[in-house]
Amino acid sequence: MKRRFAATLLIGAVCVAAPAIADDVERRAKEDYLLHCMGCHGEQGRGLVGKVPSFPDDLGRLLTLPNGRDFIQRVPGVTQSDLSSVRLAAVLNWIVKTFAPADVAARTAPFTVAEVERLRTQPLLEVARERPAL
């Protein structure tokens, strides 16, 4: 009986803690975006016409292109970031959730630490040429 009570308590604690941890990850991802990406991409992700692409306008399209997912992880602002791959993956997931159209975001598998870690070793050197060729 005691053991069942303890198990119930444990399950309860996990149920309460899991969303709280998810909230923390999301809060930190937003902070990381504001500190490490916003300077160029803007608070609303709209970038700067002719210089920095607009996430609300472009991210959805990129995510549906066969090479778009790799491209997103290989642009210099991502590969050269000071952030760890764990935090970078969280920022990319936050960007998708925040700026991509809801239906595309729902269909997009979360960026994983492993793929961010692998692709950041392959930065794109000629982004302006690579992007239209996608």
Q: Footprint of ligand HEC on this chain (CB under 6 A)? A: 36-37, 39-41, 51-53, 58, 62, 72, 75-78, 81, 83, 91-92, 95, 127-128, 131
Of 25, 18, 15, 129, the residue nearest 86 (C-alpha): 25
- Torsions phi, psi of 48, nearest 5? -145, 120
| Cβ 120 to ligand HEC shortest distance, Å | 10
User: Is the separation of the CB atoms in 78 and 92 below 8 Å?
Assistant: yes
Shorter beta-carbon distance to ligand HEC: residue 2 or 121:
121
| Cβ 70 to ligand HEC shortest distance, Å | 11
- Torsions phi, psi of 124, nearest 5? -80, 130
| Cβ 23 to ligand HEC shortest distance, Å | 20
| Cβ 76 to ligand HEC shortest distance, Å | 5
Shorter beta-carbon distance to ligand HEC: residue 33 or 103:
33
- Torsions phi, psi of 52, nearest 5? -120, 125
User: Is the separation of the CB atoms in 72 and 65 below 8 Å?
Assistant: no
